[in-house]
């Protein structure tokens, strides 16, 4: 663990060498269905938990919804043309479950599948490798009504949906990831309730985490059966967790948050077991009676790759009697059993999400997964930053976002130098979009979206990224 006092490597003043990435490195950008598609009631699509949640007053900033979003459903050709202009070699998107199987069970919706066929064909025409995520948080509402992810049956439904998508689209997609960030689905969706479906029950959050992973394992098996040639993985969001001081109590706080944020998922997925210390920490919350014999073998079904989303670091300290945990970007109720751990800010530069900028944390995270868990190829499936953007004379000069990408790509390169088999990088995000509970108030895109006119303006970071891709690396500075 690095010294929490050390400043993040975002300085853009030091001279820095040219860096070249390995041949064939995938250069991508990522999005997710509910965040960009819009057309919420078109083409046979039915509501997901995010439609219900965003239409519930008080849940999403300024009452924003994904009803229209970036209208990508109607603009896919233009959007793929923008990707081609950037020179992307891969594009990570998610399939909206309620668009292709509106009820969450039963027959496919051919019109929904056609949309993805057109998208994928357009990508392939431009030489862009499609990277398909099966679940980026939009559970069909009927499945939530039947119990949602805390209910075991949802995992089986996810496997059926996977077969349906693999049968329809598997002939043209090589890279598949099952879940995006199960931590968020479980602990924000069912713990803090700050994400859809907005429930708040500690034991349900833990159950949801298990059933998400069970659904992942069943989906891997379904994909293998339908498409033996597919490259299959999962995307987890990981954080280095650093104690605020070396005091044993702070170190224990870091151990607890690391267990909930990282090892809750990494250990079952890649080692086939829950960590003993995590189970002990959760003793008051659940007896893990929802885990059945054989589940962990399914959950740890062999993979071809691991996707990692990296944004920031957590620095934490032990509870102090009488002191409320510091207000933080995640509410205490998304850390079941460890609600009183304090999240400490170091006073280093932050993004518009108030997330600390910490590029060395990406090296740490990638090395940890490689050193402690797996030799599998790794991909950064998301990395990026929100900043306030301004359009001046038709241009958006997002120097801070550009510096963030630059610092993190240098970190990615350092990880490769240290022996990590990192095979690709996806910037979050291709374009500004619906940032969940923050609505349209946070911009992560390399392409600016004017939500009134739906005009797209590539920002400075997009032009810079195009040059990175062209060189397969970073220029000297």
Give yes or no: 372 in active site. no
The helix (H) or strand (E) run that includes residue 183 is helix 182-183
Number of residues that bind ligand FCB (CB under 6 A): 12
Give me the least distance between CB of 180 and ligand FCB, in Å please. Answer: 5
180 lines the binding site for ligand FCB (CB under 6 A): yes
The whole-angstrom separation of Cα 401 and Cα 40 is 30
Contacting residue, 187, 428, 440, 448, with ligand FCB by CB under 6 A: 428
Q: Which of 176, 436, 448, 465 binds ligand FCB (CB under 6 A)?
A: 436
122, 144, 364, 382: the active-site residue: 382
Q: Is residue 93 part of the contact set for ligand FCB (CB under 6 A)?
A: no
Of 104, 435, 448, 468, the residue at the interface with ligand FCB (CB under 6 A) is 435
Strands 129-135 and 90-94: parallel
Among 19, 29, 32, 422, binds ligand FCB (CB under 6 A): 32
Closer residue to ligand FCB (CB): 135 or 464: 135
- 324 catalytically annotated: no
Who's near 99: CB < 8 A, 6+ residues apart? 33, 37, 43, 44, 45, 109, 112, 115
Please list every residue from 298 through 337 that binds ligand FCB, using CB under 6 A: 309
How far apart CA 51 and CA 138 sit, in angstroms, is: 8
Q: Using CB under 6 A, which residues numbered 380 to 409 contact ligand FCB? A: 382
Q: Which range touches ligand FCB (CB under 6 A), out of 147-155, 218-226, 262-270, 428-436?
A: 428-436
Structure tokens given for 15? 């001279």
Region near ligand FCB per CB under 6 A, out of 70-78, 141-149, 180-188, 407-415: 180-188
- Give the interface segment with ligand FCB, choosing from 47-55, 177-185, 192-200, 299-307 (CB under 6 A): 177-185
The pair of structure tokens assigned to 278 is 């995590």
Q: Which is nearer to ligand FCB, 288 or 328 (CB)?
A: 328
Q: Is 181 in the site for ligand FCB (CB under 6 A)?
A: yes
Which stretches of 75-228 are assigned E, i.e. beta strand?
Answer: 90-94, 129-135, 175-180
DSSP-based three-state secondary structure for 266 = helix
Decide: helix, strand or coil at residue 110: helix
The Cα 81–Cα 460 span in angstroms is 18
Residues numbered 184 to 213 that lie near ligand FCB (CB under 6 A) are 184
Cα angle: 104, vertex 106, 110; to 5 degrees: 90
What's the closest the beta carbon of residue 112 comes to ligand FCB, in angstroms? 20
Helices (H), 282-371: 295-299, 360-368
**Least distance CB 124 / ligand FCB (angstroms):** 24
Nearer to ligand FCB, 162 or 185 (CB): 185
**Which of 444, 448, 464, 465 touches ligand FCB by CB under 6 A?**
444
Q: What angle do CA 273, 196, 178 make, to 5 degrees?
A: 45
Q: Which of 129, 144, 181, 364 is catalytic?
A: 181
Does residue 432 belong to the site contacting ligand FCB (CB under 6 A)? Answer: no
Backbone torsion region of residue 127, taken as left when φ is above 0, otherwise alpha when ψ lies between -120 and 50, otherwise beta:
left
- 3-class SS at 380? strand
Applying CB under 6 A, the span of 122-130, 139-147, 179-187, 357-365 interacting with ligand FCB comes to 179-187
Of residues 352 and 364, the one with the C-beta less far from ligand FCB: 352
**Least distance (Å) between residue 435 CB and ligand FCB:** 5
Q: Is 317 helix (H, G, I), strand (E, B) or coil?
A: strand
Please state, in angstroms and rounded to a whole number, the distance separating the CA atoms of residues 96 and 98. 6
How far apart CA 138 and CA 96 sit, in angstroms, is 7
Sequence-separated (6 or more) residues with CB below 8 Å from residue 12: 403, 406, 477
Whether residue 125 contacts residue 83, with contact meaning beta carbons closer than 8 Å, is answered with no
Binding-residue pattern over the window 347 to 386 for ligand FCB, x denoting contact by CB under 6 A: -----------------------------------x----
Across the strands, what pairs with 231?
A: 175
CB of 2 to ligand FCB, least distance (A): 23
CB of 173 to ligand FCB, least distance (A): 20
Dig out the tokens for 474 from the structure. Answer: 């970073």
Q: Which is nearer to ligand FCB, 21 or 93 (CB)?
A: 93
| Rounded Cα distance, 175 and 424, in Å | 12
* Smallest separation, CB 69 to ligand FCB (Å): 12
Give me 456's structure tokens.
Answer: 């797209």
Would you say 286 or 351 has its CB closer to ligand FCB? 351
Q: Which of 19, 3, 31 is nearest to 426 (CA)?
A: 31
The pattern of x and - marking residues 216 through 255 that bind ligand FCB according to CB under 6 A reads ---------------------x------------------
The residues assigned a catalytic role are 181, 382
> Rule CB under 6 A: which residues touch ligand FCB?
32, 35, 180-181, 184, 237, 309, 382, 428, 435-436, 444
């Amino acid at each position: 663990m690095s010294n929490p006092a050390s400043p993040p490597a975002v300085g853009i003043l030091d001279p820095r060498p040219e860096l070249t990435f390995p041949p064939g490195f995938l250069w991508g950008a990522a999005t997710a269905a509910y965040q960009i598609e819009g057309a919420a009631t078109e083409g046979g699509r039915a509501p997901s938990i995010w439609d219900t949640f965003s239409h519930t007053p008080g849940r999403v900033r300024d009452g924003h919804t994904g009803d229209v979003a970036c209208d990508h459903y109607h603009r896919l050709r233009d959007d793929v043309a923008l990707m081609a202009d950037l020179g992307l070699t891969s594009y990570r998107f998610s399939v909206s479950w309620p668009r292709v199987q509106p009820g969450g069970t039963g027959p496919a919706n051919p019109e929904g599948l056609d949309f993805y066929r057109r998208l994928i064909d357009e990508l392939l025409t431009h030489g862009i490798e499609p990277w398909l995520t099966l679940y980026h948080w939009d559970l069909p509402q009927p499945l939530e009504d039947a119990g949602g992810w805390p209910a075991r049956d949802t995992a089986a439904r996810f496997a059926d949906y996977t077969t349906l998508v693999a049968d329809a689209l598997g002939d043209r997609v090589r890279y598949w990831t099952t879940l995006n960030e199960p931590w968020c689905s479980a602990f924000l969706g069912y713990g803090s309730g700050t994400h859809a479906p907005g429930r708040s029950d500690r034991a349900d959050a833990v159950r949801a985490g298990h059933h998400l992973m069970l659904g992942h394992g069943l989906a891997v098996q379904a994909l293998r059966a339908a498409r033996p040639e597919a490259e299959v993985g999962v995307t987890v969001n990981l954080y280095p967790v650093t104690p605020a001081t070396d005091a044993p109590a702070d170190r224990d706080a870091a151990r607890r948050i690391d267990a909930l944020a990282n090892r809750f998922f990494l250990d079952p997925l890649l080692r086939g077991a829950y960590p003993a210390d995590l189970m002990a920490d959760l003793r008051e919350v659940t007896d893990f009676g929802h885990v059945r014999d054989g589940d962990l073998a399914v959950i740890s079904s062999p993979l071809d790759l691991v996707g990692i989303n990296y944004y920031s670091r957590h620095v934490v300290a032990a509870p102090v009697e009488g002191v409320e945990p510091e207000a933080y970007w995640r509410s205490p109720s998304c850390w079941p059993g460890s609600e009183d751990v304090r999240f400490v800010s170091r006073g280093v530069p932050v993004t518009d999400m108030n997330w600390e900028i910490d590029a060395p944390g990406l090296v740490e995270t990638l090395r940890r997964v490689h050193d402690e868990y797996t030799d599998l190829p790794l991909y950064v499936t998301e990395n990026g930053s929100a900043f306030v953007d301004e359009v001046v004379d038709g241009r958006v000069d997002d120097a801070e976002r550009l510096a963030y990408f630059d610092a993190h790509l240098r970190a990615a390169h350092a990880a490769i130098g240290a022996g990590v088999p990192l095979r690709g990088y996806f910037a979050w995000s291709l374009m500004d979009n619906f940032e969940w509970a923050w609505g349209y108030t946070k911009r992560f895109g390399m392409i600016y979206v004017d939500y009134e006119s739906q005009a797209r303006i590539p920002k400075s970071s997009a032009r810079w990224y195009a040059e990175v891709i062209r060189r397969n690396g970073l220029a000297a500075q």
